[in-house]
Amino acid sequence: MGALDGRVALVTGAASGMGAAIAHAYAAEGAQLVLADRDADRLTAAAAELGAEAHALDVTDADAVREVVDGVAASRGRLDVLVNCAGILTEVPLLEMDVETFDEMIAVDLRSVFLCSRFAAPHMVAAGWGRIISIASQLALKGGESLAHYSAAKAGVLGFTKAAARELAPHGVLVNAIAPGPILTPMIDGLSEEWKAAKQAELPLGRFGRPEEVAPTAVLLASDPGGTLYVGQTLGPNSGDVMP
Ligand SMILES: NC(=O)c1ccc[n+]([C@@H]2O[C@H](COP(=O)([O-])OP(=O)(O)OC[C@H]3O[C@@H](n4cnc5c(N)ncnc54)[C@H](O)[C@@H]3O)[C@@H](O)[C@H]2O)c1
């Protein structure tokens, strides 16, 4: 018996990094997976590996998100778990940041969490059971230089999570966030070796995490009874970077 046997789970950002690792972990626990990502080529490869349904989707496109979410619920007869993992990271000092850069970050890393949750939640409420898990970042808690837009978007995800959790828990829908520390995915490939060395030295654990070390937290939050008491929480697989 898998911890997620029979659950229909939609994972965004599933073509790469943590989204792909969560998809693998969910598949291993028996979930029926639906993967979404805007990178159609990598998504097709990831879905083929798992025999999963795949949707090329830009999570900033409200109509497209609604179509995919409602389509999954209609064709599968249910949508039990939503994992909001799609995201981008850019580094720009605040004094040089233009409005478009800020707006794009908010659209991809925050507004998308609202869109996917907004359209998924009614299906979960109707069923009386659901889990919404959003990948924030420890930078939501501590901030980061040249990351005002990213830190703001991720802090917004935590606020959204708490408010949605209060509204939806009475309907059996549990909403939580995961705020990872630095994780070895393509997202941080571009950062300088100097930054990586200095950052690692700062971490109590002395090393970055791997995507497969974050995925079990997403399994826990989606499972029963492991996840049943988490409501509006932020779990922090972060190598000790932040201890709230
Ligand atoms: N890697 C880290 O150190 C780290 C730390 C904390 C939080 N995070 C967060 O974890 C999540 C996953 O990041 P990752 O490290 O696995 O990065 P990644 O770059 O490997 O994966 C992100 C995925 O999101 C997809 N994506 C981006 N914009 C999209 C859009 N508009 N529509 C649909 N898909 C889109 C990308 O195509 C990619 O497949 C992100 O939300 C990120 O902010 C990452």
**What pLDDT is recorded for position 124?**
98
Q: Is the Cβ atom of 238 under 6 angstroms away from ligand 1?
A: no
Instruction: Assess if residue 134 is contained within a domain.
Output: yes
Q: Is the Cβ atom of 17 under 6 angstroms away from ligand 1?
A: yes
Instruction: Assess if residue 88 is contained within a domain.
Output: yes
Distance, in Å, from the CA atom of 52 to the CA atom of 42, rounded to the nearest integer, reads 13
From first to last of its 244 residues, the chain has per-residue pLDDT tens of: 899 999 999 999 999 999 999 999 999 999 999 999 999 999 999 999 999 999 999 999 999 999 999 999 999 999 999 999 999 999 999 999 999 999 999 999 999 999 999 999 999 999 999 999 999 999 999 999 999 999 999 999 999 999 999 999 999 999 999 999 999 999 998 888 888 999 999 999 999 999 999 999 999 999 999 999 999 999 999 999 999 8
Number of domains the chain is built from: 1
Instruction: Assess if residue 30 is contained within a domain.
Output: yes
Instruction: Assess if residue 123 is contained within a domain.
Output: yes
Phi-psi region of 90 (alpha: psi -120 to 50; beta: other; left: phi over 0): beta
Q: Is the Cβ atom of 70 under 6 angstroms away from ligand 1?
A: no
Question: Which residue is associated with the tokens 């229909």?
Answer: 8
Distance, in Å, from the CA atom of 140 to the CA atom of 119, rounded to the nearest integer, reads 24
State the pTM of this model: 0.98
Give the nearest ligand 1 atom to 186 CA. Answer: 20
Cα 14 to ligand 1 centre (Å): 9
Q: How many CB atoms lie within 10 A of CB 151?
A: 20
Cβ pair 226, 3 in contact under 8 A: yes
Instruction: Assess if residue 185 is contained within a domain.
Output: yes
Residue 198: which CATH number? 3.40.50.720
Q: Is the Cβ atom of 68 under 6 angstroms away from ligand 1?
A: no
Cα 12 to ligand 1 centre (Å): 9
Helix orientation angle between 62-76 and 112-127, rounded to the nearest 10 degrees: 30
Q: How many CB atoms lie within 10 A of CB 184?
A: 15
Instruction: Assess if residue 241 is contained within a domain.
Output: no
Instruction: Assess if residue 240 is contained within a domain.
Output: no
Which range marks the domain in which residue 78 is found? 8-235
Instruction: Assess if residue 244 is contained within a domain.
Output: no
